[in-house]
Structure 1
Amino acid sequence: MNLRFFAWIVAVGVVFGMTGCTKDTTITPEAPVTGPPSKADQPVNNWILENMRDVYYWADKIPANPDSTLDPESFFYSLLYDYNNKANPERDRFSWIQENVDELKSSLSGEEKTTGLEVKYYLRSQGSTDVIMQVLYVLPGSPAAKAGLKRGDIITSVNGQKLTTGNYASLSTEPTTFNYGLATVESGKIVDTQLVKTTTAAVFQQNPVLLDSIYTIGSKKIGYLVYNQFIPGPNGSATPVYDQKLEQIFSKFKAQGVNELVLDLRYNPGGYVSSSVKLASMIGKGINTTKTYYRMEYNKNIMAAFNRAGQSDRLITRFDSKPQSIGANLLRLYVLTSGGTASASELIINGLRPFMPVITIGETTYGKNVGSETIEDETGKIKWGMQPIVFKSFNALNQSDYSTGFVPTIEKAEPLQIKPLGDVEETYLATALAQITGNSARLSAERGPKLPTIGSSVERRAGGSNMFVERSKINL
C-alpha cells in the first residue's frame, strides 16, 4: 500500500461527518450519464484511481481495467462496489464526488445555499400524482424563517406550478426564488388557499443545536435536545461554538438534576465524530476514557499495515471525560428517529448500546455503518473533491449490524398536522414522555389525514452523508 497514506492515517484524529445535499430524489442517485471524453479529464481520472486504490474500503473490488475515457464523475462511479445493485444492502451507496472541493468542505460544516426549509413529501391522496410538502422545521434566521414559514405549513405549489410526482424534486430544490403556495387541512381534507410566501435561497450557516428543554413530571426531570447535525462550529471557524453550546446545555441538565434524556435525532443525517464523541461522553452510563466508543476497520492492505506497525490501537476511539456528563443519573436513553437519522446519529445509538438501554422511537434509521475520506489534490491543480468509503465502524461489543438501519423500539410517524417541536403533545415527544412516566393518557390522537409518504429532504441529505475521513481528520 501507499506508505505516505499510512504515515498520515496513523497520525490523525478521528471524526464522523456528513456530506452535502444532493438534488437526487432517490436515496442512492443513479450513476451519471457518461459525458464526452476529454484530455483534461485524464489527469483527474488518474488522481481518482490512485487514491481509490490506496484508501477505498473495497479496493480489492475495483475493476482491474476501468474505462479511463469516461468523464471524472462517471469514472468515479464506475469504480464503486456493486453500486447499482439495490438488492445488496452491503453495497457502496454512499461514496460520492464533487467538482468543487471547497463547496464540498463547506457543506460538511453546515454551510450551503438554502432557503432553510426541511420538508417531507406526501402524495396528496392515495393513487394521486399530486404531491404536497409538509414543513418539518425551519432554520432560525434563514430566508424561510424571515418569510414567515414555520413547522407544520403545507405547500402545494412552487412558483405557480402544482407539485406532482414528476416535478416536485426539481421544483423544491432548483429555483433560486421560491413562491410557496400554502394549503390548510379542513375536515380531514387538504384545501388550497390564496396565501403565498416568497423566499430566496442564500448561502447560510445552520446552527445544529435547535432546541433544548427540561420537563418536570413527578419525580422525573426530563431533558430534551433537538440536534440536527454534528458540527463543532461554523464553517471556517477555529472555535467549536456548537460543541460549546452542547456542553452548556448538559451543564444545565446536570445542575437541574435531569434523570431522563430524550435525544431528538430524527432530522440529523450525520456530522463530525469529534462532536459525536463529546455528546456520547455526556450521556453514557458507566463509561470512562478506557471504554471503546467505536472501532474502525479499513481495507485489507491498510489493516495489514496497521498490524505490522503495531498500531492497531489507533483504530479505536474511546470516550472523553466530560464534567458535564449526566450518565450517572440515567437508566436509559430515548432517541427519536426517522429515515433520515444517519451516520454519526446512528453511531450514537450503536456506540452507547453496550453501556445502557437505548430506546428508539419513530422510524427505521438510514443504515450507515461505513465511513469515507475527504480527498483533495494537495497540489491544488485538480479542483475536484471526493468522498470514497474507507472504513466500517464497530462498537465495544464488535457490533456493526445496522446496514439496513435500526428498527425502532416503538414505531411512530409524523402526522400531517404536527405540533411545534418541544410541545408535550408533539407525537414523538409525547410518546417518549408517556414511556418515561408510564402515563399513556399523555398520548394525543394523531391529527390529519394519513397520506402515502414519498420521502423527505432529510432522507435526501442522509443519502449524501456517511462516515468520512479527511487529510486532517476522519469523519463519519
Structure 2
Amino acid sequence: MNKKYFLMLSVVSLLALGACKKSKEEPKTEPKTEEPKTEDEIPPATSNRRELSQDSIFLYAKQLYYWNDKLPTYKVFNPRKYTSLSTDLDNYEAELLGIAKYSDPYEWTTGDSDPKFSYISDKTKKNTGATGFVREKTLNVDLEGNGNDIGLRLVPYLTNTTTRSYLFFITAIYDKSPAAAAGLKRGMVVTKVNGTPVGAHFENEVDFLNNALAQASVTIEGKGYLDNVVFSKTLTKTNYSDSSPIYSQKVFTAGAKKIGYMAMARFSRLSNPSSNNPSDVDLDPVFANFSSKGVTDLIIDLRYNGGGYIQTAEYLMNLMAPSSTTGKVMFSEYYNSIVQNNQATILKNQALPDENGKAQFFNGKLVTYFDYKPNPFSVANNTSNFNKKGTLNGVQNVVFLVTGNTASASELMINSLKPYLNVKVVGQTTYGKPIGFFPVRIENRYDVFFSMFETKNSLGQGGYYSGIKPDT
C-alpha cells in the first residue's frame, strides 16, 4: 500500500497584487498551569448532524493538525458555537478558521479572514466557477484536468500607484477551454469587458469585473501587448476535460547552450500514477523533446502554479535531475509527534484510497490511514529519494520563474533541488507554504484539508513560511 497521492495546494487569491507573507518566528510554547481534565475533552451527546461534524473537525484537528499542541480542550474551544452563518459549510469553515488562529503566526495572523493553508472542499460542487479571474478555494481546472469555465486567468497589473490604473493581462489560457478554442493567447491585454472600458482604476472596477466574469458568458476586447493586434471574443462557460497542465514549452539556443523552457499551471495527477513505474502523457513528451535537442539548462515557469499532487512534483524532479542523484534524499515529511508516533487513532475512521480514489481492502478488512503499514507517518517512512526518469541528463542549471502565486508543490520542488543543482529563483517572493495534507472526509461530502506536515530538503532546510525569496 502507498500514500503518494497527497496534496500541496495554496489558496492564493489572484486579486492580491503582492505576495502574502508571514513571520518566520518560531512557535512559542504556551505555559501550562494545569493538565486538562478528561471530561473537558469529551463532546456532549448529540444526534444533530451539523454538531457531529463540528465535533469531528475539532477532534481530527486535536490529533492531526500540525500545530495541535497549541489547541485548547474541546470544552474551551466549543466547536458547536459556530452557528451564525447560513450554510453548514460556512459554519465549518468558520470553525476551521478558529482552529487556524491557534497556529499564529504560521497560517493566521491578526486580520486574516481565512487560514493561509487549511481549507474545506465540498466534493459536490467542484468546478462551478464561470471565470478564471477570481480564484478562491478551488482551481479553475481541477487536478484531474476538468474545467467548467471560460478558460482564462486574468491578472491586473498596476501601472500607476497614484491613479490606480492597471493593465488587465491574460496570463494563462487553459488547454481545451473556450478561450483556447477562440485563439486567445497569453500576454494579450483586455481593454473592454461587455463593452465597458477597463483599466482606469482597479478598486473602482473590481466589483464590475468580478460580476461580469462570473456570468455564463462574457465578451472581452483588447489587443496584443507587443503586436497591438486587436481582438474581440465572446466566451461561454463550458465543461471540458483532459486539459494539459502545461501552458507552453520550447527550446532556445544561447551560444553553445540549449535552454529548455516549460510553463506549468499545476501539478495534476499523473496519467499513470503507478507507484512502481509512473509516467505522464503531458510531461514525458516535453522532456523527451528537451533530451533529443540536447538541452543543457532549464527555465521552469511556475509564476501561477499553486501546487497539486506531491507525486507529480517528485516525478518532474526525477525528469530534471541528473542520474547521479538516484538514491539520494529528495525531501522528508514531518508530522506532529502524535501522528509520527502512530498514536493518531482517529485515522482508523479514514479509508486509504488507491490511485483511482477507491477504498482498499486487505484480507477482507478496510485499509485505513492508521494501519496500512507499520509506523506509516514516521520520518523514515515519509522520505522520498530521487529515482531518475527519462533520458535528459547532465542539466546543472535551473531557473525558476516565480510570483506570490507560486506555492506549495512548486516551492517543494525548488527547495528539494537546491542541494543538487545550481538553482536560481527569479521574480517575486513566493507564497510560503512548506505544508502538505491529505483529505479527511466527513459526511461523505466534505474534504477537510488540515495543515498536517512540513517538508524539508536533504539538508534539513524548510520553514519558508514567509516565502522563498528571489535571487533576482
Under a length normalisation based on structure 2, what TM-score does the superposition of the two structures give?
0.70
Q: What displacement does 1:47 show?
A: 2.3
In structure 2, do the counterparts of structure 1 residues 292 and 86 end up closer, same or farther at CA, with 3 Å as the change threshold?
A: farther
Name the structure 2 match of 1:13. 4
In structure 2, do the counterparts of structure 1 residues 220 and 184 end up closer, same or farther at CA, with 3 Å as the change threshold?
A: closer
Q: Distance in 1 between matches of 2:122 and 2:81?
A: 17
1:97 partner amino acid? I
Name the structure 2 match of 1:198. 234
Contact 1:132 / 1:154 at 8 angstroms: preserved in 2? yes
Name the structure 2 match of 1:159. 194
In structure 2, do the counterparts of structure 1 residues 201 and 287 end up closer, same or farther at CA, with 3 Å as the change threshold?
A: farther
Contact 1:232 / 1:242 at 8 angstroms: preserved in 2? no
Contact 2:152 / 2:174 at 8 angstroms: preserved in 1? yes
Contact 1:134 / 1:155 at 8 angstroms: preserved in 2? yes
Q: Distance in 1 between matches of 2:461 and 2:56?
A: 34
Q: Distance in 2 between matches of 1:154 and 1:217?
A: 29
Name the structure 2 match of 1:78. 98
Q: What displacement does 1:339 show?
A: 1.9
- Higher deviation after alignment, 286-295 or 393-402: 286-295
In structure 2, do the counterparts of structure 1 residues 43 and 382 end up closer, same or farther at CA, with 3 Å as the change threshold?
A: farther
Contact 1:221 / 1:257 at 8 angstroms: preserved in 2? yes
Residue 152 of structure 2 corresponds to residue 117 of structure 1: yes
Q: Distance in 1 between matches of 2:116 and 2:12?
A: 15
1:212 partner amino acid? Q
What is the DSSP-based 3-state SS (H/G/I as helix, E as strand, rest coil) of the residue aligned with 1:249? Answer: helix
- Contiguous gaps of at least 5 residues in structure 2: 21-46, 83-90, 127-137, 345-373
Contact 1:269 / 1:345 at 8 angstroms: preserved in 2? yes
Name the structure 2 match of 1:339. 404
In structure 2, do the counterparts of structure 1 residues 241 and 316 end up closer, same or farther at CA, with 3 Å as the change threshold?
A: closer
- Contiguous gaps of at least 5 residues in structure 1: 1-9, 29-37, 411-476
In structure 2, do the counterparts of structure 1 residues 271 and 262 end up closer, same or farther at CA, with 3 Å as the change threshold?
A: same
Contact 1:336 / 1:360 at 8 angstroms: preserved in 2? yes
Q: Distance in 2 between matches of 1:268 and 1:159?
A: 29
1:320 partner amino acid? N
Name the structure 2 match of 1:168. 206
Name the structure 2 match of 1:388. 450
User: Which structure is richer in relative contact order (CA contacts within 8 A, separation 6 or more)?
Assistant: 1
Contact 1:20 / 1:107 at 8 angstroms: preserved in 2? no
Q: Distance in 1 between matches of 2:148 and 2:279?
A: 20
What is the DSSP-based 3-state SS (H/G/I as helix, E as strand, rest coil) of the residue aligned with 1:79? Answer: helix
Contact 2:269 / 2:312 at 8 angstroms: preserved in 1? yes
What is the DSSP-based 3-state SS (H/G/I as helix, E as strand, rest coil) of the residue aligned with 2:327? Answer: coil
Name the structure 1 match of 2:247. 210
Q: Distance in 2 between matches of 1:101 and 1:400?
A: 35
Name the structure 1 match of 2:433. 368
Under a length normalisation based on structure 1, what TM-score does the superposition of the two structures give?
0.69
Q: May I ask how many residue pairs the two structures share in their alignment? A: 380
Q: Residue 358 of structure 1: which of 423, 429, 440 is its match?
A: 423
Alpha carbon RMSD of aligned pairs, Å? 3.8
Q: Distance in 2 between matches of 1:114 and 1:141?
A: 11
Name the structure 1 match of 2:60. 51
What is the DSSP-based 3-state SS (H/G/I as helix, E as strand, rest coil) of the residue aligned with 1:144? Answer: helix
Q: Distance in 2 between matches of 1:152 and 1:252?
A: 25
Q: Deviation digits for residues 107-153 of structure 1, max 9, x if unmatched?
A: 33342322111122134643235554111121233112233432222
